[in-house]
Amino acid sequence: MTLSDCFDRIEDPPRTITVYAPPPRPTLVERLERETGIDAVAYRRLPEVAGPNQGFLVVHEGDEFVAAIGLEAARQFLEPPIREPWDDHDDPAYRRVIETFDTTIWHALDRRQLLAISREIEALAWRTSSGTLRASFQRASALEAAAPVYVRLAGETALDVHIYIDDDWNRPSIPGVTIHDDVGGEIGSFWALAFDGGGDRLRASGLLAREVDAGTFRGCWTNDVQLVSRLERSLATAGE
Amino acid sequence: MTVERPSPDDRRANPEELDTAFRVLRHRRRRLACYVLLEHETASLSDVADAVAGWQYATGDGIVEPQCRRQCYLDLRHTHVPVLVDAGVVRYDEESDTLSLVPCPEPIRDLVMRACAFETGS
């Protein structure tokens, strides 16, 4: 199965977002409409006398309530801080926003958002310290930038780390990391990451996004164990 | 041409109405439900529960989980909405499962608006 096949088989759940805030309509509404790929983004007014910091959004899946999220947490999610996988800083709100949009296909993710989500998956792998982590890089230069993270992930855990890159890798090898270089095919147009959970199905986690414009990706992250498993197979096949 | 203005008596709440209003608005969830209804002529109980739970717990960087929202819905349905209906502040249409502030006397609506500004304003 190719990464494209894997991508095409993702079925995103029918989610809706309702943003509650006092007028004027927050610009976040347009951003969510444009970037999430969720068709039903609605705005409902709170009284004008309420303060501008009083907004929140509500996510439904069909008729089911999924979560209500403060607009500050939602904005932080769209412009996330980048942390190291071993960073102890706990940000439950950010993690919960990621969970809320599990398997939702976003139409416009930028590199910063993808990096922040990748770091969440790498942090989960770091804490689990076992299992297999697979990551793709579009270019050798991108892997070079991330190399310190992978040196530590492979060096200080029992993780089996596989990296797939479109280019040749003619830099020194990274101890504990199997680099599959010159993979070609589709790897250059995807940002993919898969962690098998290290034997714990609840920790399986993946990210798959396709570059649709320079620096703009369409994709999703997921904790769906079957989807993660398909993603792992696609990456493993690409590296053969 | 003279513009008809409400006489002071029309704008003034009678003491019994005020007693009732302060009694029912003493609970935060009831106030929040009324604040939501200030902006929406009618709203389903489910939507009001979403908004009350979100407003109470999610503003800023908070998150509301389904269990918390469900508790809020049940509290509204079984406790707070009946109190608001009995007090004549809110109408609940069982058939459409919707709430509205239509029966709320003007001075009480004004009180709700002022409370909203005091409680949630910047």
Domains in chain A: boundaries: 3-238
- Closest listed residue to residue A108, CA positions, set A42, A37, A57: A37
Determine how many CB atoms are found less than 10 A away from the CB of residue A23: 13
B54, B113, B121 member nearest A56 (Cβ): B54
Which of chain A's residues have a Cβ under 8 Å away from the Cβ of B57?
A: 68
pLDDT tens digits, A39-52: 799 999 999 999 99
Which among A70, A92, A96 is the nearest to B60, CB-wise? A70
φ and ψ at residue A87, rounded to 5 degrees = -60, 130
Q: How far is B6 from chain A (nearest CA, A)?
A: 24
* Interface residue A52 vs chain B (CB under 8 A): yes
B35 domain-assigned: yes
Dmax of chain A from CA atoms? 62
Using the Cβ of B55 and the Cβ atoms of chain A, whether some distance falls under 8 Å is answered with: yes
Torsional sign, CA A208, A214, A215, A217: negative
Mutate to test the interface with B, among A45, A53, A54 (most CBs of B within 10 A): A54
Amino acid identity of B99? L
Q: Convert chain A into a string of H (helix), E (strand) and C (coil).
A: CCHHHHHHCCCCCCEEEEEEECCCCCHHHHHHHHHHCCCEEEEEECCCCCCHHHCEEEEEECCEEEEEEEHHHHHHHHCCCCCCCCCCCCCHHHHHHHHHCCCCCEEEECHHHHHHHHHHHHHHHHHHCCCEEEEEECCHHHHHHHHHHHHHHHHCCCCEEEEEECCCCCCCCCCCEEEECCCCCCHHHEEEEEECCCCCHHHCEEEEEEEEECCEEEEEEECCHHHHHHHHHHHHHHCC
CB–CB contact A70 B59 (8 Å): yes
CB A191 within 8 A of CB A201: no
CB-nearest partner of A20 from B38, B54, B122: B54
Q: Which superfamily, per CATH, for A3-238?
A: Endonuclease Chain A (3.30.870.10)
- Can you tell me the ipTM of this complex? 0.90
Nearest-Cα residue of chain A relative to residue B32 = A46
Yes or no: say if A186 and A2 are a contact pair by the CB < 8 Å rule: yes
Q: Is residue B60 situated within a structural domain? A: yes
- CATH code of the domain in which B76 resides: 1.10.10.10
* Residue with tokens 């609506």, as numbered in its chain: B109
- Closest residue in A to B61 (Cα) is A73
Q: Please indicate whether, in this complex, the C-beta atoms of A49 and B116 are within 8 angstroms of each other.
A: yes
From first to last of its 240 residues, what are the pLDDT tens digits of chain A? 899 999 999 988 899 999 999 999 999 999 999 998 887 999 999 999 999 999 999 999 999 999 999 999 999 889 888 888 888 777 788 888 999 999 999 999 999 999 999 999 999 999 999 999 999 998 889 999 999 999 999 999 999 999 999 888 888 889 999 999 998 888 999 999 999 999 999 999 999 999 999 999 999 999 999 999 999 999 999 878
In a domain? residue B58: yes
> What is the domain count for chain B?
1
B12 has a chain A CB within 8 A of its CB: no
**Beta-strand (E) ranges in B1-122?**
42-44, 63-64, 91-93, 98-100
pLDDT digits (tens, 9 = 90+) for A217-240: 999 999 999 999 999 999 999 878
Distance from CA of B55 to the nearest CA of A (A): 7
Contact call for B61 and A93, based on CB within 8 A: yes
Q: Is A78 on the interface with B (CB under 8 A)?
A: no
Q: What is the pLDDT along chain B (122 residues), one digit of tens a residue?
A: 455 555 555 567 788 889 999 999 999 999 999 999 999 989 999 999 999 999 999 987 889 999 999 999 999 999 999 999 999 999 999 999 999 999 999 999 999 999 999 999 98
Q: Which of A45, A70, A76 shows the shortest C-beta gap to B62?
A: A70
Contact at CB, A51 and B120, closer than 8 angstroms: yes
CA distance B96 to chain A (A): 16
Cross-chain Cβ contact B63/A73 below 8 Å: yes
Reported as type and span, the H/E element at residue B67 is helix B66-75
Q: Which residues pair with A160 in a beta bridge?
A: A132
**How many cross-chain Cβ pairs, A to B, lie less than 8 Å apart?**
97
Question: In terms of residue numbers, what domain contains B115?
Answer: 27-120
